[in-house]
Amino acid sequence: MNDEIRQIQPQDPAIQEEWLRETDEPEVRDVNACRIDEIGGWLVYVCVMEYASKDPLESDLRQRIATALRNAGMPWGETTCE
């Protein structure tokens, strides 16, 4: 399993900072995070969510992602939303 986290050059001028976690299974395990000052925070894309469309898996995964983001100690603090 190969995981690489790297900062990439944003393609959209509205994005101030962008990070990508690349894996051997990009359709399932890649994660992308974009800092957009205009909205006052970060957008995080989790590729596996495309396949988690039924409860209880979907709601459990969403809750765990939100908890992980809040616990990461990053600038977004206590606020997570979809």
Q: Tell me how many degrees the CA angle 13-78-4 measures, rounded to the nearest 5.
A: 55
Residue pLDDT, tens place only, 26-61: 777 888 989 999 988 888 888 888 888 888 888 898
Please give the average per-residue pLDDT across 13-18, as a whole number.
95
Phi, psi of 26 (to 5 degrees): -60, -35
- Answer whether the bond into residue 26 is a cis peptide, omega within 30°: no
pLDDT given for residue 40 in this prediction: 84
**Tokens read off for 78:** 């206590």
Q: In this structure, how many other beta carbons lie within 10 angstroms of the beta carbon of residue 60?
A: 11
Q: How far apart are CA 17 and CA 7, in angstroms?
A: 8
pLDDT given for residue 74 in this prediction: 59
Is the confidence at residue 6, as pLDDT, over 60?
yes
